A = this chain, B = another copy of it.
Amino acid sequence: MDPLSQTFAALADPTRRALLAKLSKGEASVTELAEPFLREMSLPAITKHLKVLEKSGLITKTRDAQWRRCKVNGEGMKDATEWLEQYRVFWEESLDRLGDYLKTVTSNASKKGKPHAKTKQ
Contacts and interface: CB of A to CB of B under 8 A. Distances in A.
Interface of A: 1-2, 4-9, 11-14, 17, 20, 24, 72-75, 77-78, 80-81, 83-94
B87 A20 contact: yes
A18 to B, nearest CB: 11
A110 B5 CA distance: 43
A64 to B, nearest CB: 19
A92 B74 contact: yes
Contacts of A94: 74-75
A84 B9 CA distance: 14
Contact of A90 (B2, B77, B83, B88): B77
A24 B81 contact: no
